[in-house]
Amino acid sequence: MMRSLPDDDVLYRALVERDSRFDGIFVAAVKTTGIFCRPTCHARKPRPENVEFFATAREAILHGYRPCRLCNPLGTPGEAPAWLQALTDEVQAHPERRITDRDLAARGIDPARVRRWFQKHHGMTFHAYHRAMRLTQAFGRIRHGDDVASAAFATGYGSLSGFSELFAKETGLTPKQSRSERLVTVTRVLTPLGPMIAGAIDEGICLLEFVDRRMLETQLSRIRKCLRAEILPGTSPYFSVLDLQLAEYFAGTRETFDLPLVLAGTPFQERVWQELRTIPYGVTRSYQEQAEHIGARSAVRAVARANGDNRIAIIVPCHRVIGKNGKLIGYGGGLWRKRYLLDLERHHSDRESG
């Protein structure tokens, strides 16, 4: 699939600034070295006349370029590097196990390097992330009937008082209070457009946003308020299904998603979000048409605001709503991502109809 790209000036600026928002949108090929890189690569930047841009690594390879060893442009944006993968897998599978800096060093892993990666990709240190995973496991045990002491010791805490103090500090609740509290578990989901953050409660997926979206913190605050829930890193049975269905969507083999969704908002917002889900794959509507579809012809601006407040990107396809003149406007993940998604759907729709 050939995808349209922003102007070269925009792409070159993103390359020089190492703009992570463009990771997955393009690769930069350097004519003088024969190498192509991600936008975020830390290698020395070429002069504008020595670089050409491609939408995919495949296109760069077909033009005779080879991948950079430093930034690995053939990998999925945001994925854990090979040296870290075993550690992240272990924390996911066994959060109750204690792992100290000394343990990391004994495995041949530099603790400072681990800390930098987690700060960049999760916004917290490795040990803070590990603590959050343990707390999430304890939170779930308490909510499903374990007494506080059993939950604490089963998740690796040696002191009940220490567990209770940390639990209250991180969640604002005592362990007993959490028994009736809702929990939103969140995780990172890797996509060709960069990492996203997904959130789920018992009823279904309630969040899917690009991690670099400027309104992400606001959206998390709104989820806490709307669902009266705490948010912690963790696992959910919905996440593996979400991973699979997103992979199928980006491969062009899935047009609709069948995950249960939790669309928590005002009645007007929920009407708009439900209507978004009726826009067929590969089809676009204007904001005016969207307003007419919900019987609110004069509420175009309100519809646009509700679209912007959508917290479940791609699955609730606000990217399919465009300006009345066909211009791409108003997408929280960035217009380059909106263009990518529409090009993807248009390409596969044309292939099916052909």
Which residue spans of the chain are classified as CATH 1.10.10.60?
78-179
Residues annotated as part of the active site: 318
How confident is the model at residue 190, as a pLDDT?
85
Q: Where in the chain is the domain with CATH 1.10.10.10?
A: 181-354
What's the pLDDT score for residue 181?
A: 73
**pLDDT at position 140:** 77
Query: Which H or E run contains 121?
Result: helix 111-122
Nearest by Cα to 11 from 31, 39, 42, 32 = 39
Nearest Cα to Cα of residue 199 among 130, 257, 262, 265: 262
pLDDT value of position 269? 95
Q: Please state, in angstroms and rounded to a whole number, the distance separating the CA atoms of residues 327 and 330.
A: 10
Per-residue pLDDT of the chain (354 residues; tens, 9 = 90+): 455 677 889 999 999 998 877 877 789 999 999 999 999 898 899 999 999 999 888 788 778 888 888 888 877 766 777 788 889 888 888 888 889 999 999 999 999 988 988 887 777 888 888 888 888 888 878 777 788 888 878 888 877 888 888 778 777 777 777 776 788 999 888 888 888 999 999 999 999 998 888 888 888 889 988 998 888 888 889 999 999 999 999 989 999 999 999 998 999 999 999 999 999 999 999 999 999 999 988 999 999 999 999 999 999 999 999 988 888 888 888 887 888 899 889 888 776 655
Location of each CATH 3.40.10.10 domain in the chain: 8-67
**Could you give the CA distance from residue 327 to residue 322 in angstroms, rounded to a whole number?**
6
CATH 3.30.110.30 fits 8-67, yes or no: no
* Both tokens assigned to 55: 């939408």
The hierarchical CATH code for the domain 78-179 is 1.10.10.60
Q: What is the pLDDT of residue 161?
A: 82
CATH code at 181-354: 1.10.10.10
